[in-house]
Amino acid sequence: MYKKSLHILSVFVVSLFLATNLQAAGKVTGGSPHEFPGWFKQSFLDFAEDVEEAKDEDKHVMLFMSLSFCPYCTKMLNENFEEGAKLQPYIQDNFDVIGIDIKGARELYIDEDTTMIEREYAAHLKVQYTPTILFLNQENEVVVRVNGYRSPENFQHIVDFVKNKEYENMSLTEYVEKVKNKTFYTLKENKMFQDIKDLSKIDGPLAVIFEDGSCTQCDYLHNKTLKNEEVQKELGKVTVVRYDATSDEQIITPSGEKTTPKKWAKDMILDYRPGIVLFDKKKEIVRIDALLYSFHFKELVRYVSGGYYEQYHTFLDYLGPRQDELLQQGVDIDISEKY
Q: Which DSSP string corresponds to 128-154?
A: -SS-EEEEE-TTS-EEEEEES---HHH
Query: Sheet holding 142-147: strands in order across?
Result: 95-101, 60-66, 132-136, 142-147
- Whether residue 16 is predicted with pLDDT greater than 50 in this model: the reply is no
Mean pLDDT of 124-151: 93
Three-class SS state of 60 = strand
Geometric angle at alpha carbon 83, from 77 and 84, rounded to 5°: 100
Range in 175-179, 222-226, 285-289 the model is least confident about: 175-179
pLDDT value, residue 129: 78
Q: Is the pLDDT of residue 12 over 60?
A: no
pLDDT tens, position by position, 43-64: 999 999 999 999 999 999 999 9
Q: CATH homologous superfamily of domain 13-179?
A: Glutaredoxin (3.40.30.10)
Does 13-179 match 199-334 in CATH topology?
yes
- Check: CB of residue 251 under 8 Å from CB of residue 261: yes
In Å, how far are 28, 67, 110, 270 from 73, measured between CA atoms?
A: 18, 7, 23, 21
The partner residues of 244 in beta bridges, in order of sequence, read 211
- What's 189's DSSP letter? P
What is the mean predicted confidence (pLDDT) over 283-300? 94
Amino acid at 298: K
Domain residue ranges in the chain: 13-179, 199-334
Average pLDDT, integer, range 113-127: 93
Confidence label for 328 from pLDDT (cuts 50, 70 and 90): very high
pLDDT at residue 105 above 90? Answer: yes
- The yes-or-no verdict on residue 9 having pLDDT over 60 is no
Q: Is the pLDDT of residue 201 over 70?
A: yes
CATH superfamily of 199-334: Glutaredoxin (3.40.30.10)
**What is the DSSP track for 275-321?**
EEEEEETTEEEEEE-S---HHHHHHHHHHHHTTGGGTSSSHHHHHHH
pLDDT-derived band at 337, boundaries 50, 70, 90: confident
